[in-house]
Structure 1
Amino acid sequence: MANYAELMAQAQALMAQAEEARKSELASTIADIKAKMKQFGITVADLGGASGGKKPAKSKSTAVAKFRGPQGELWAGGPGRKPEWVRAVLASGKSIEDFRI
């Protein structure tokens, strides 16, 4: 039976082989994908990757603020999830109307 050092050397050699195989397969896969994209006229934007794989940043609301929080936070009062300060105000029993600008 092999000792620990021999097994570790074998494991490292196998990991190096696996990495080389991955790189080789990756290169051929990318080439296949590029060929199909060219064949069908597919762009990176068609795949949803126009932003480099990141989700586009949400734009800030352009609505006029109707409420000002205790720390000066602003909220337009629109649909969607209420800001944390609004939820805290409501949970404390106060009316959001007390914070109307």
Structure 2
Amino acid sequence: MATYQELLAQKESLEKQILEAKAREKAEGVAKAKAIIEQYNLSASDIFNRKGPAGSRGGKVAAKYRNPNTGETWTGRGKAPKWIEGQNRAQFAI
């Protein structure tokens, strides 16, 4: 049975091997990606362009309600502002 010190030495050796393998495989992956990008003349927008529902998140949403006293608007998303809480929202619709 291995001693504690021997196991620690093995662990250190394995961690070093893991880091080396990770760096080597990462470099290979980058080289493959560069070759494909060059082969097909791809641009960053070709690769990272988000289309559909996943790409539409985070955009601005049109306001649905307006406070007639201050002109403040609210999209109807998230927590309702105090000026519209508990009231009929139809009267504030834009």
- Fold match, TM over 0.5? yes
| Secondary structure at the counterpart of residue 80 of structure 2 | helix
Residue 43 of structure 1: how far off its partner (Å): 1.5
Q: 1:34 to 1:99 in 2, by over 3 A?
A: same
TM-score using structure 2 length: 0.64
Unaligned runs of 5+ in 1: 50-54
Query: Matched residue pairs, number?
Result: 84
Cross-structure match for 1:46: 46
Residue 31 of structure 1: how far off its partner (Å): 0.7
Residue 56 of structure 1: how far off its partner (Å): 8.9
TM-score using structure 1 length: 0.60
Unaligned runs of 5+ in 2: 50-54
Residue 66 of structure 1: how far off its partner (Å): 3.8
Aligned-pair identity (%): 30
CA RMSD of aligned residues (A): 3.3
| Secondary structure at the counterpart of residue 37 of structure 1 | helix
Which aligned pairs between 1:20-39 and structure 2 lie closer than 5 A?
20-39=20-39
Q: Does 1:84 align with 2:79?
A: yes
Residue 85 of structure 1: how far off its partner (Å): 0.6
